[in-house]
Chain A
Amino acid sequence: MSTIRDKLREYRTAGYYTEFEYHWTMAVDLDRCTGCEACVVACQAENNLPIVGEKLMRQGREMKWLRIERYWDGEYPNARLNFIPMLCQHCDEAPCEIACPVFATYHNQDGLNAQVYNRCIGTRTCAVYCPYEVRFFNWFTYTWDEPLEQQLNPDVTVREKGVMEKCTFCVQRINRAKDLARDEDRRVADGEAQPACAQACPTDAIVFGDRNDPESAVSRKLEDPRAYSVLEELNTHPSVVYLKNARKPLAGGADDDHHGDESDSRASREGARPTWERGHDPRSGPALREGETPSLQTQQADTVA
């Protein structure tokens, strides 16, 4: 007999699943990321992402399920570039999932944030609710010139206008691995299901696997003290975990150039971390509470100005 409270808890659990069969998780080691964008290209090829062209790119309508965000640390010539690959975080408490009036986006049994193109009516609420801005809307029906349509991936739908889309963690590859494993009556082995970005990454910065398996490579990455989630204070419980890059502070660089305010002293104390991380690292919680942390935006403005 389940009590009403149990029912409520079940109802409030993401996608109504209390536990996941597999809990697909991605760990991105920012220390290893060189910003080469091989993952971006791999994603584009694997998932039939349209090339929207220069005009639409300028209008901010590009389709890139995975993008490399760039944040500058310091000022030229004493500057450093930080990369962070940003893709759908497959949040366990996804803001987008409560938004869709027709259940076009939901949490599936594998902890994936699934998007059903056929069901989408294009209210775009999910994209508005998404704090990571990783949802992409088909403003037009995009086409591929001859003979480029020959290279479309037959495992992936080509989307029409008016439909929302986003990173699926290459669900077609996951499903194929699960089918194989089911035929052989076993669970999917670690490393058997790899999204295109992880496969393409030359420095192995992207590690993908099942969090339910404590022996998997990704589970070991999660135990790394450098692990954190982007915008963790929003309580979205992302399935993408980043390992911060532990680098030395810029010598005589931006960190020292700050104008001697309080955040400056903290910056030099924790200077090992790049600028964009400071305000959003859960580990800097006490500093956040004291209210001394400048935000992401001001920091950007500071470094640019």
Chain B
Amino acid sequence: MSATRELMFDHGQPSYSEVNNDVINALTTTTWRYWVTLVISAGTALLFFVAPWIYQIIVGVGAAGMNRNAMWGTYLSNFIFWIGLSHSGTLLSAVLHITQSDWRKSIYRSAEAMTLFSLMTAAMFVMVHVGRVWFVHWTFPFPNPMELWPNFRSPLMFDVMAILTYLTASSVFIYMGSLPDFAAVRDRSTGLRRRIYAVMCFGWRGTAHEWHTLGWAYTFFAVLVIPLAVSVHSIVSWDFAMSTVPGLHHTIFAPYFVCGAIYSGTAGIVTVMWMLRKFMGFGRYIGQLHIDNLSKLLLVLSLIWTYINICENFSGWYSGTSFEYEAILYRVWEGPFWWLYWEMILFCAVVPLVLFSRRIRTNWNVMLVISILINIGMLTERFVIVASSLPRKFLPDVFGTYFPSLVEISITVGSFAIFTTLFLLFVKIFPAVSIYEVKETLNPLRKREAHT
């Protein structure tokens, strides 16, 4: 156990006060680089996401490249990508909490934040996708004088429910876990910041009773969140699988999507960890052990993902229905996006095989590249699923093609800016590394040293 503890900190264990200083300084001291990055990303979000969206609301969804055959396009595939990206943070954090894996403690806060913000970005894509966004609240079962209810048979309606539940649970989970840290910030700051954090920490005093309640509630939520996370992407996959469309109508879609979601989410965590190390100075708390464990997880997930992909293509070939077979053929070879399919196989199935090497697993810079490649692959995976299945369903007379328009591409770019903006705001409001939980992992001997 102590060996693990030594591994967690690359440059020796910090003392209690050093943990406080490091994390809280990241909140309070802001360089001009931060502001420049924030302005650039917020500007990009406005220019590339909000502006084209307003244009699209005014003229109609026809501003996007979708047509009669491909009624869904990049909006939906991006929605699935962002939901997928949200899947690792809270899920991983909860699983590792229950299995009492100590190494989670310095990375889970940012991972959960990633969940939260990618879920919000995904929710934005639902709004962008629908034809009449001003009526989107009709998908909620709210009491109304017309006694109209949503359709409880619809996978989309369950989608809305699942995502909202996941969003609520994730928000509560991250906020609850941050309470003692808010209190720590309150104790260390002055003026307005102190008053704000005094409210945010709900008057946390750190009594034994409070710690006991927090621990109990936290474990309760961890248990609650795990099935929730699995259900969310299963339900998202049913949006596709419940249709009759060849290439989408697979029973394997739920595990496929859940696996893909955790896969891209874990890759996303690696990317975010690299950023935190590089730009926020958390290199001391996020080290070799974390990247090694995350990479092992990535490797396992990539193998599962590859297996499911083989299954999908095999069952398409084995099913004996020509529709299914030709949908597969169109996707991997005959269609306009065959190269995207093979790009996705290269990035998500072949490249991660290098993770068998421990030297690569523990190299942060190589892992940054691999994690970004994986997420590019997963982004295109969702696009390929949508864009290669819908234009060709059954009747050859109406076969068509789909290519995203400038509005769609711009909104896709803008969504990354939205995510970045939200995350930049997060690192200045939340302690991005859990102060009290990192302290829990410190070597007791070192604790005494710190106190003397």
Contacts and interface: CB of A to CB of B under 8 A. Distances in A.
Contacts of A162: 60-61, 130-132
How many A residues touch the partner, as a band? 35 or more
A234 B244 contact: yes
Interface stretch (A93-101, A243-251, A264-272): A93-101
Contacts of A279: 322
Nearest to A133: B398
Contact of A102 (B59, B71, B151, B244): B151
Contacts of A129: 242-245
Contacts of A131: 244-245, 393-395
B154 A98 contact: yes
Nearest to B329: A297
Contacts of A48: none
A135 B394 CA distance: 14
A236 B395 CA distance: 15
Contacts of A119: 138, 148
B390 interface: yes
A122 B132 contact: yes
Nearest to B325: A295
A132 B395 contact: yes
Contacts of A101: 138-139, 150-151, 154, 156-157, 159-160
Nearest to A59: B67
B245 A297 contact: no
A98 B153 contact: yes
B246 to A, nearest CB: 9
Contacts of A284: none
Contact of A139 (B62, B69, B160, B325): B62
Contacts of A140: 59-60, 62
Nearest to A98: B153
Contacts of B129: 123
Interface in A225-266: 230-231, 234, 236
Contact of B322 (A61, A124, A296): A296
Contacts of B395: 69, 86, 131-133, 230, 296
Contacts of B149: 103
B71 A127 contact: yes
Contacts of B204: none
A97 B72 CA distance: 17
B136 to A, nearest CB: 6
Interface of A is mostly: loop
Given A95-B243, A99-B242, A296 B394 contact: yes
A100 B139 CA distance: 10
B320 interface: yes
Contacts of A61: 62, 67-68
Contact of B151 (A60, A103, A161, A293): A103
A300 B326 CA distance: 13
A128 B61 contact: no
A22 interface: no
A209 to B, nearest CB: 26
Given A140-B60, A295-B323, A123 B130 contact: yes
B151 A291 contact: no
Interface centre among B130, B135, B160, B395 (most CB of A within 10 A): B395
B326 A297 contact: yes
Contacts of B22: none
B397 A120 contact: no
B396 A124 contact: no
Contacts of B239: 125
B155 interface: yes
Interface centre among A102, A120, A300 (most CB of B within 10 A): A102
A70 interface: yes
Interface string B310-341: 00000000001111011000000000000000
Given A98-B242, A100-B154, A121 B131 contact: yes
A297 B327 CA distance: 10
A122 B130 contact: yes
Nearest to A132: B395
Interface in B143-181: 148-151, 153-157, 159-160
A133 B393 CA distance: 8
A52 B133 CA distance: 23
B444 interface: no
Contacts of B160: 101
Nearest to A62: B68
A140 B61 CA distance: 7
Interface of B: 59-62, 66-69, 71-72, 129-133, 135-136, 138-139, 148-151, 153-157, 159-160, 239, 242-245, 320-323, 325-326, 390, 392-398, 400
Given A86-B397, A279-B322, 4 more contacts: A71-B397, A128-B71, A129-B245, A131-B395
17 contacts: A56-B62, A61-B68, A98-B153, A100-B151, A123-B129, A123-B156, A133-B398, A141-B60, A161-B59, A162-B60, A162-B131, A163-B131, A230-B395, A276-B396, A293-B322, A296-B395, A297-B392
Interface of A: 56, 59-62, 67, 69-71, 86, 95, 97-103, 119-125, 127-129, 131-133, 135-141, 161-164, 230-231, 234, 236, 276, 279, 291, 293-298, 300
Closest 7 CB pairs of A and B: A122-B131, A295-B322, A162-B131, A139-B62, A161-B60, A60-B67, A69-B397
